[in-house]
Structure 1
Amino acid sequence: MHTTSFFKRILFVVSVLFLYSCDKEYNAIGADLLGENHFDFLQYSSDVVAHNQKIGPVDATNLPINALGIYNDPAFGKTTAHFATQLNLAALAPTIGTNAVVDSVYLSVPYFSTLKTTNTDGSHVYELDSIYGGQAPVKLSVFESNYFMRDLDPSTSFTESQSFYTDQTALFENAKIGSRLNNATSVAQNDAFFFDSKEIVQKTIASDGKATLARSVPAMRLKLNNSFFAAKILNAPAAKLATNDAFKEYFRGLYFKIETVSGSAGSMAMMNFKAGKITISYTEDLVTNGVTTRVPKTLDLNLNGNSVSLLDQTNTNSAYSNAVNNPNTSLGDASLYLKGGEGAMTVIDLFKTPGELNLIRTKGWLINEANLVFHIDAEKMASSNEPNRVYLYDLTNNRPVVDYFLDVTNATDVKKSKYVFSGLINKEAVTNGRGQTYKIRITNQIRNLVKYADSTNVKLGLVVTENIGETGFSKLKTPNSFTKKLPKATVMNPLGTVLYGSHPSVPVDKRVKLQIYYTKPN
């Protein structure tokens, strides 16, 4: 009895000491759960210097997501997104019988979509995701490409992967062969193409005459030229279909060309082309016991070879152009322009006031939370689509900041994961409300700077992002004075946003600041 009581007391004392120790260390996880009232912590606001940095052509090889179409953004200008890709045989060395005749050829690339309702007849209603401009038509032409997209770069003695850049549209335009392959009579598949949210319904008739309907998610589904694929694939020399290396040298790929339709502003979609394929349906002779019958066959080509996103920028907004071409690196810019693709980013310097960081260190503050808050310029963004997220990273070393790594929060929607680190847009509390701010938590980044005098106060980069889980980098074709690389996730995003900057001309309540919440030592 007494022994049990003694151990209970010891356990209580140890627990108190443990909790006190955790409290003194200000555990990072606990700090991430503080919310917005900050428990009446003391607050300090530090000036930062944030300026624009223009981004030129960037490596857009083998992106997981590619833009296709036209997007007119009043705050930035017009982006026309083309695409080029190699093809791979789904099955090597296919056996093609005698008298093979093509019945149909379809190219299919599924859209990002959400099922909204299922009707009593079994049909479905979908809503497309990542579509800008709705169903405004564009002219779409799919050509055979004669440009060979090699795997390795000969300029590096074939030791590094070959890079293809966003500004190389002319390279593929000049290498296209013949007439367009999507030459169906329906203009919805070429001259007036649009991103259709309707499900794909395919009807097949069995040998007994019974019809069957097969339903699938919305997709870009294009009827391609039968004669071309009969000659190029079914009548190809067997050696050309024996391996994918031989096949890619023989059939070098496809070039998706986008043009403006008169009277239409155009539209753009984010596409996962690597999930796409071309299906060649054909019939051939089958001889059984001297009797010849026609049998149906299919042959698939996958769109998962080397690829590149090709971006043409035109009608550039003059305010945007002036801002990114004439940055104020000493005081910062009044307006910060973030634009995905071949666009712009922001360079951020913390603690630029001489002696400020050392003064904070001497005070011995315990940092509870630190945030960078960016206010959206509602007037400049009034007619533009707003990116759902921005991404802050260590620009000096081209890697995520420590708070990114320490945030293990997940969400049902993967685009909203790492919601403590965040960068997610904060909108007005009304239906279809406009964006107000982006807030990014860098508590541990600041803690390390304050605690360790030998820590490097690195430059930070801010960009729009398509995927918070993508931490890879893409090479700039021409490095600038700040970096040679750009986060790959921003290369994939066609959108942009305009934020209030750090220049003294910006109203104090809108100016970008580093907010620090702290506790004084006892």
Structure 2
Amino acid sequence: MNLNSITKQIILLFVIVSLVSCDKDFNEIGTDIVGGDNNHYLGDKTTEYTVQAYNQKLGPVATNNLPINPLGIFSNPAFGTTTANFVTQLEIASASLNRTFNNVDPTLYQTLPIVDSVILNIPYFSKLKETTTNEDGEILKTYRLDSIYGESGSKFRLSIHESNYFLRNLDPETQFTEQQSFYNDNQSVENNITPGRLNNAPLVNTEYIKNADGRENEAFYFNKKEQITKTKNDDNEDVLARSVPSMRLHLDNNFFLNKIINAPSGQLVNNDVFKNYFRGLYFKVESLGNSNSLAMMNFAGGTVTVYYREDSKVTDAQGVVTFNKVDKSFVMNLTGNTISLQSNSNENADYITATNSTTEATSLYLKGGQGSMAVIDLFGPDTDGNGIADELEEIRTRGWLINEANLIFNIDKVKMGNAQTVEPNRIFLYDLNNKTVLVDYIFDQTTFPGYSKQNKYVHGGYILDENNKHLSQAKNDDGVITKKGTKYKIRITDHIKNLIRKDSTNVRLGLVVTETITNVGFTKLKTPIGIIDKIPTMSALNPLGTVLYGSHSSVADDKRLKLEIYYTKPD
């Protein structure tokens, strides 16, 4: 190994150690010292500085073409009830594109095509928990669902409708130069659906279907069991097929016979034509009185498969014609344009009052979707009017070596009540002025292969217990958090260093809940509020909320929002 290679490896190791270190006693000697060896520093110290925080209600937000989408009903006593519906276009799979059926030519069939079944299938986010073998030698798999919120097994009414609302790609108001935005309060979708439910077909093989009334609509729930389907092989023997837990619904045969098999000429030729002809599916949820279950869904991984039989004409050498029924399938993917349609009801009075106030907050209400966020100012007021907060001016004169800086957000357990078990796993802090991440986010390169929601570990934002341990793994078999958190901590060391040593602008900060920190895109508000015209996309799709103690002087000191700075003082 040559010297150059060794040097590169040493540099790489040094960078990794620098990035992942989060010990508050770690002194970054040499990075902030001016004047080299002539400087002398005393031991580590900690000081708390002024933070001013405010609530902001957001209103409707653009929720089209999100990477994942909520579906269901979720109740949170601190906020109210969120109902999440969904609409999606369908696209013909490449193998089925421009399909022709033998019903167009009477010489090709003896009897018309028959639709045997239509299956909607959308896999849930799940993890394999255990694999066992029963007495018959069958391998059985037990799963745990991920990203399911509310009460395990809670049921609601689920209706699938044909949507007649066209989801165009581009916005005519921008001369078709920008993507069309659709907002989560869009009522035009539900006003343009076909009334009859498509998931209204009686089930077969009910021994493998777990819904209580033998149907898949009036008592739907997110089932964690593996999917087991039964078919017949060529010898008329039962064959069981097993797959991961999923939403598996039987849709109306006659509807798809007419819509697909009997489609007018040219409507299946390509997906641009098809999406205007069959404009999509609308997933509507309704409470059964006490429904409280919501899942994050990857609808784009779903399919609608039409299983049908049609005649195959065979002419033998003697010219004798026979017709044999052949099994075929026509596959549509749940891709194309989508909208997450979220509405709030029974909103908590304290939540409404707090988020419509412009005063410094005693409690911070963070809620995803059509929810609320916090706006944060560091270092207090600027009394001399020079554009720099007084505390920041003072710190800049002291020559401190900044070792670490954190914002500490304590959870208001009284206001959260029983909703504590469904706290957001993570919150996200960003530059509100410029709609971008903080420098600490950029510098933190920590990753967790296979579980990206834990990336940026040093920057933080996780829910923590009283011992500063994060709770992302403290879940039961249904994926519900079982241990209550007490706070969130976000490390902003490099942001503070830049403010002190590099005279960076002390921008306002935005704080939101997030589904995952790895996606830092932004989505539009329907009605901008000052500089807030966009919010992080991962907050727009997250249904959860949390109540944190604010910065107002009336909040007890041990609960109040804090900016902690660990520093080394010059001698």
The match for 1:414 is 452
Moved more, 343-352 or 37-46: 37-46
Judging changes above 3 Å, is the alpha-carbon distance between structure 1 residues 300 and 27 closer, same or farther for their aligned structure 2 residues?
A: closer
Report Cα offsets for 1:435-471 as digits up to 9, x if no partner.
Answer: 1110001111111110122x21100000000011110
2:368 alignment partner, one of 340, 356, 379:
340
Give the match for residue 77 of structure 1. 80
Distance 1:110 1:284 in 2: 29
Query: What residue is the counterpart of 1:351 in the other structure?
Result: 379
Q: Which amino acid in structure 1 is aligned with residue 182 of structure 2?
A: F
Q: Give the SS at the match of 1:140.
A: strand
- The root-mean-square deviation of aligned C-alpha atoms, in Å, is 2.0
The corresponding residue for 1:276 is: 302
The equivalent of 2:273 in structure 1 is: 246
Identity %: 51
Counterpart CA distance in 2 for 1:104 and 1:488 is: 37
Deviates more, 1:429-438 or 1:503-512: 429-438
1:217 aligns with 244
Residue by residue over 1:372-415, the C-alpha shift from the partner in whole angstroms, topping out at 9 and shown as x without a partner, is: 11001111122111110000000000011111011100124211
- Tell me which of 125, 142, 145 is aligned to 1:112: 125
Shift of 1:428: 4.4
> Where do residues 218-233 of structure 1 align in structure 2 (5 Å cutoff)?
218-233=245-260
The residue matched to 1:137 in structure 2 has which SS?
A: coil
- Matched to 1:107, the amino acid is L
Aligned partner of 1:164 among 179, 182, 189:
182
Paired residue for 1:395? Answer: 432
Q: Kindly provide the amino acid, as one letter, of the partner of residue 465 in structure 2.
A: K
Displacement of 1:238 after TM fit?
3.5
How far does the alpha carbon of each residue in 1:328-366 deviate from its partner, in whole angstroms, 9 at most, with x for none? Answer: 1xxx20000000000000000011244211111111111
Judge conservation of contact 2:25–2:403 (CA < 8 Å) in 1: no
Partner of 2:492: 442
Inter-CA distance 200–28: structure 2 relative to 1 (3 Å threshold): closer
Q: Does 1:306 align with 2:320?
A: no
2:399 aligns with 364
Provide Cα deviations, 1:128-149, integer angstroms capped at 9, x if missing partner.
1111222111111111011000
Q: Which residue of 1 aligns with 2:228?
A: 201
Counterpart of 2:465 in structure 1 is 427
Query: Could you tell me whether the CA contact under 8 Å between 1:187 and 1:193 is conserved in 2?
Result: no
Cα shift at 1:494: 0.2
Q: Indicate how the Cα distance of structure 1 residues 465 and 191 shifts in structure 2: closer, same or farther if over 3 A, else same.
A: same
Q: 2:48 aligns with which of 37, 45, 49?
A: 45
Please state how far the C-alpha of 1:97 moved relative to its aligned partner. Answer: 2.7
Q: Distance in 2 between matches of 1:34 and 1:149?
A: 47
Listed as ranges, the matches of 1:52-91 within 5 Å are 52-91=55-94
Gaps of 5+ in 2: 1-6, 28-42, 104-111, 203-212, 316-320, 383-389, 475-481
- Which blocks of at least 5 consecutive residues in structure 1 are unaligned? 1-13, 20-25
Task: Look up the match of 1:30.
Answer: 18
8 Å contact kept, 1:378–1:435 = no
Displacement of 1:32 in angstroms is 4.8
Q: For the residues of structure 1 that align with 2:569 and 2:20, how far apart are their CA atoms?
A: 19
Q: What is the alpha-carbon distance in structure 1 between the residues aligned to residue 91 and residue 265 of structure 2?
A: 15
Query: CA 1:187/1:309 → structure 2, altered by over 3 Å: closer, same or farther?
Result: farther
Query: Between Structure 1 and Structure 2, how many residues are aligned?
Result: 494
Going from structure 1 to structure 2, the CA distance change for 1:433 and 1:82 (only over 3 Å counts) comes to: same
Secondary structure, in 3 states, of the residue corresponding to 1:363?
A: coil
Cα separation, 2, equivalents of 1:510 and 1:107: 49
CA drift at 1:156: 1.1
Q: Aligned with 2:335: secondary structure?
A: coil
Q: State the match for 1:9 in structure 2.
A: none
The separation in 2 between residues aligned to 1:210 and 1:507, in whole angstroms, is 71
Cα distance between partner residues in 2 of 1:117 and 1:234: 42
| Residue 177 (structure 1) aligned to one of 189, 194, 198 | 194
| 3-state SS of 2:416 partner | coil
Alpha-carbon shift at residue 184 of structure 1 (Å): 2.6
Runs of 4+ in 1 over 4 A off after TM superposition: 26-29, 36-40, 428-431
Aligned to 1:464: 513
Q: Identify the match of residue 153 of structure 2 among 110, 135, 154.
A: 135
SS of match in other structure, 2:354: helix
Task: Render the CA deviation track for 1:69-96: whole Å, top value 9, x for unaligned.
Answer: 1111100001111101110000220132
The answer to whether the Cα contact below 8 Å between 1:428 and 1:434 also exists between their aligned partners in 2 is no
Q: 1:187 & 1:443 partners in 2: Cα distance?
A: 57
Q: Which one is further off, 501-510 or 40-49?
A: 40-49
Which residue, 526, 541, 544 being the options, matches 1:492? 541
Distance in 1 (CA, whole Å) between partners of 2:559 and 2:18 is 29
Take 1:224 and 1:439, find their aligned partners in 2: how far apart are those partners? 47
Amino acid at match of 1:152: L
- d(CA) in 2 for partners of 1:390, 1:41: 29
**Contact 1:93/1:238 (8 A) holds in 2:** no
- What residue in structure 2 maps to residue 7 of structure 1? none
**Secondary structure of the corresponding residue to residue 194 of structure 1:** coil
Does structure 1 conserve the Cα–Cα contact (< 8 Å) formed by 2:24 and 2:403?
Answer: no
The alpha carbon displacement at 1:49 in A equals 0.3
How far apart, CA to CA, are the structure 2 residues paired with 1:505 and 1:178?
A: 54
* CA shift for structure 1 position 110: 0.7
Q: Which AA in structure 2 matches 1:145?
A: S
- Pick closer, same or farther for the CA change 1:281–1:484 going to 2, 3 Å: same
- CA deviation after TM superposition for structure 1 residue 115, in Å: 1.0
- In 2, Cα distance between the equivalents of 1:141 and 1:459? 44
In structure 2, the partner of 1:506 is 555
1:42 is displaced (CA, Å) by 1.3
Structure 2 contact 165–279 (Cα < 8 Å) conserved: yes
- Distance (whole Å) between structure 2 residues aligned to residue 298 and residue 513 of structure 1: 60
SS for the counterpart of 1:287 is: strand
Secondary structure (helix, strand or coil) at the match of 2:551 reads coil
Residue in structure 1 matched with residue 527 of structure 2 by the alignment: 478
Structure 2 CA distance for aligned equivalents of residues 218 and 179 of structure 1: 27
State the match for 1:267 in structure 2.
Answer: 293
Amino acid at match of 1:181: L
Once residues 247 and 311 of structure 2 are traced to their aligned partners in structure 1, the CA distance between those partners, rounded to angstroms, is: 32
My pick for the range that moved more, 428-437 or 120-129, is: 428-437
Asked whether the 8 Å contact 2:70–2:296 carries over to 1, the reply is yes
Question: Which piece of structure 1 moves more, 34-43 or 435-444?
Answer: 34-43
Displacement, 1:291?
1.9
Q: Per-residue deviation at 1:204?
A: 2.2
CA contact (8 A) 1:38 1:517 kept: no
Is the Cα–Cα contact under 8 Å of residues 19 and 443 in structure 2 kept in the other structure?
Answer: no
Residues 338/104 of structure 1: CA separation in 2 closer, same or farther (3 Å cut): same
For residue 266 of structure 1, report the CA deviation from its aligned partner: 2.9
Deviations 1:178-219 (A, max 9, x none): 401000335551111111111111222111233322111111
Please report the TM-score for the alignment, with normalisation by the length of structure 1.
0.91
Secondary structure at 2:144's aligned position in 1? Answer: strand
